[in-house]
Amino acid sequence: MSDQQLINDFLQFLSLNQGLSQNTVQAYRRDLKLLLEWMPEHALDGLSGIQGEDLKGFMLEMQETRTASSNARLLSALKQFYQWGLQYQDFAADPTALLKGPKLTKSIPAVLSEQQVEDLLRAPDTLTPLGLRDRAILELMYATGLRVSEVVTLPLEQLNLSAGLVQVVGKGNKERIVPLGEIAIEWLQRYMRNARPVLLKHAWGEALFISQQGRAMTRQTLWHRVKNLAKQAGIRGELSPHGLRHAFATHLLNHGADLRSVQLLLGHSDLSTTQIYTHVAKERLHQLHHAHHPRG
């Protein structure tokens, strides 16, 4: 079997058996392609015969041109590939066994203030179908902390406005139920009543949010819209695709929510992933103390 076929079979295994998103699978495909392109330059002609020292040299070269987070994912792809090869393809050994990933420092995300969020929410022109859709999207994202990918793939049937809940299928096909809040419900109702039928052109569509072409939105389209609306709202600096998700988590903690509840709402499998928001909240409290306390 060719190396390319091995990679294809491995990626198909990940999609079908591990529940990884297509974005992750495609990132792994690009990572493994880097190794395929590197091998001929070093007289290596088969993935199954690579030694640990070979991969160590490969990773060292990658560290010269790629970020630590990209190389951490690269090593994850390699480890999973060779573990799969041992189990399903009779590889003789796992050359990644002794490889260690780069040390990653958890960066604290920049978070929109509550006033900035209000300005962003008011930016769309709700007299137009697209503006009404965008307002509903922003309200949903801030009310629930959904990822951009979760918003664009959200089916209409998983929204229960009468109960005030949305069912979300997140990373690893893990499901969670998230409450919506009255304001988000109101804007979603207005969108579904006055804008969605117009965008669909009275056809049928499974996705909740519809593009100008009458189809489900893409992540790129949604992110482009949010960035433009942020500029309209006068928000300076680089806004992350998870900007409203970060704001959702941080503002909850600022107002007294416990970390475990925020973890469940965000769909984090590990509490340590959520803990970064406690640092953001604490930093905000320090800033408030410094700005407003007479002895700050």
Q: Single out the catalytic residue among 176, 215, 227, 242.
A: 242
CA distances from 29 to 24, 55, 63, 285 (A): 9, 17, 18, 43
Per annotation, catalytic residue among 133, 225, 245, 246: 245
Catalytic residue among 28, 142, 191, 277: 277
| Tokens matching residue 47 | 């993935």
Per the residue annotation, which of 29, 56, 79, 171 is the catalytic one? 171
Active site residue 242: yes
Among 147, 225, 246, 251, the one annotated catalytic: 147
277 carries an active-site annotation: yes
3-state secondary structure string, the chain? CCHHHHHHHHHHHHHHHHCCCHHHHHHHHHHHHHHHHHHHHHCCCCHHHCCHHHHHHHHHHHHCCCCHHHHHHHHHHHHHHHHHHHHHCCCCCCCCCCCCCCCCCCCCCCCCCHHHHHHHHCCCCCCCHHHHHHHHHHHHHHHHCCCHHHHHCCEHHHEECCCCEEEEECHHHCEEEEECCHHHHHHHHHHHHHCHHHHHCCCCCCECCECCCCCECCHHHHHHHHHHHHHHCCCCCCCCCCHHHHHHHHHHHHCCCCHHHHHHHHCCCCHHHHCHHHHHHHHHHHHHHHHHCCCC
For the question of residue 122 being annotated catalytic, the response is: no
Catalytic residue among 133, 135, 251, 268: 268
Asked whether 242 and 147 are in contact (CB, 8 A), the reply is yes
Is 201 among the residues known to form the active site? no
**Has 202 been annotated as catalytic?**
no
147 as an active site residue: the answer is yes
Active site amino acids: 147, 171, 242, 245, 268, 277
